[in-house]
Amino acid sequence: MLLSPGAIAAQFEYSGKVGTEQRYFVDQGQYPKQFAHTQQSFFISPELYWQWNSGDDSLTFQPFYRYDSEDNQRSHLDIRELSYIHVGKDWELKAGIRKEYWGVTEFQHLVDVLNQTDGVDSFDGEQKLGQQMVNLSLVRDWGIVDMYLLPGFRERTFSGEKGRLRGPLPVDKNNVDYESGAGENHLDLATRWSHTIGDFDVGAYWFHGTNREPELTASQDGEKQVLRQYYRQMEQLGLDIQATKGDFLWKFEAIYRSTSAEDFWATQAGFEYTRVGVFDSAVDLGFLLEYAWDSRGEGDTDSPGAAMQSDLFFGSRLALNDVQSTEVLLGLGTDLQHSATSFIVEASRRIGESFKASLDVRVFQSSDKQDAWYYLSNDDHLGFTLEWYY
């Protein structure tokens, strides 16, 4: 039986984006072999979507490719999503390669643990690599329970020897070890409960598997020194809460992580206040304040991995609510234990029906070698991205 063109269109959708990014670094590279000032890249991310059985079954395919002019480790191909979804009456099954985001805070995403960070696609950790998973969701009156099987592990991506936004030693992508004898084939497990209770959105989870954050140690590669990656096993408990109270969004994230090397607590908490229609206009103006604490910083400022031991973040978000969807985010972070600050500007605006322009500014300042920003002191930069959506 032949389907009409209208029926075929309802079952298949093709969309995506193509873009170019230009970066300009104010200072020359701080370390040998780094490129000087300018960096260009091109990226494409098509998306194919099929649905059938009245929408109860669907398949999504979204690859991503970036080519970079200066850093060959930033040129990479990834499958962000290749997943099948079946929706039942009070349950849902998802299987394949997917991205799953958890968390509520703005400046650090403590509880977001399932997907590996794509460290070369963006500096702030917002972009993630696709993760193989099977996810069963059960919908109940007392909340949604998600159970995950995560076969296979993705190693974090890092800038290469010629790349910027890295430390004194490049990370060797071929020098990787695991605590588990199964290596990258370890089967990770997770379960999460989420529910809305009045003004509160609450989520809690347990994760058992390979730590997404590698330990980096100096290693010799011929005549040069590099950083070796080591991935431990971990147990992690996480909690995220967001409360909507009038013009305020109160946000809280906390984790407890246990590994063979150490156990620690970490939290990120704060609020976002939005003034809707300032001066009787269509403009919304928001103010953000968040504080990060990590128990590894108590009495041991050299603890590896404790990047945000006691940090305060201020921010402001401006939404013009115009036809072009113009938005601007300003952020300032300061380390209360070290003499270090970071400043960001993220702005975006649609151009016509199909284009979007984005501006990204990053400034780092530190005089303390114990702080991560110290090793990026020459990496202040401005980035401009133009995307075409189809």
Q: Which residue from 345, 346, 335, 332 is spatially nearest to 373, judged by alpha carbons?
A: 335
| Averaged pLDDT score across all residues of the chain | 93
Residue 84 CB neighbours (<10 A): 14
Is residue 6 in some structural domain? no
Backbone angles phi, psi at 383, to 5 degrees: -125, 140
User: In this predicted structure, what is the pLDDT of residue 299?
Assistant: 54
Contacts of 181 (CB under 8 A, 6+ apart): none
Whether the predicted pLDDT of 32 surpasses 70: yes
Q: Give the CATH number for residue 188.
A: 2.40.160.100
Identify whether 336 is part of a domain: yes
Is 145 a member of any domain? yes
Banded pLDDT at 33 (limits 50, 70, 90) = very high
Q: Which amino acid is at 82?
A: L
DSSP 34: -
Residue 62: what pLDDT? 98
> Is a pLDDT exceeding 70 seen at residue 9?
no
Looking at the structure of the chain, the number of domains it has is: 1
pLDDT one-digit tens code per residue, 265-282: 999 999 999 999 998 899
7 domain residue, yes or no: no
The sign of the torsion formed by the CA atoms of 343, 212, 219, 36 equals negative
Return the pLDDT at 125: 84
Give percent of the chain with pLDDT exceeding 90: 87
At residue 3, the pLDDT reads 45
Nearest to 314 by CA among 326, 329, 303: 329
In a domain, 8, yes or no: no
On whether residue 1 sits in a domain, the answer given is no
338: confidence class by pLDDT, cuts 50, 70, 90: confident
The domain of 128 spans 14-389
Q: Is residue 368, in this structure, part of any structural domain at all?
A: yes
Q: Mean per-residue pLDDT for 285-291?
A: 98
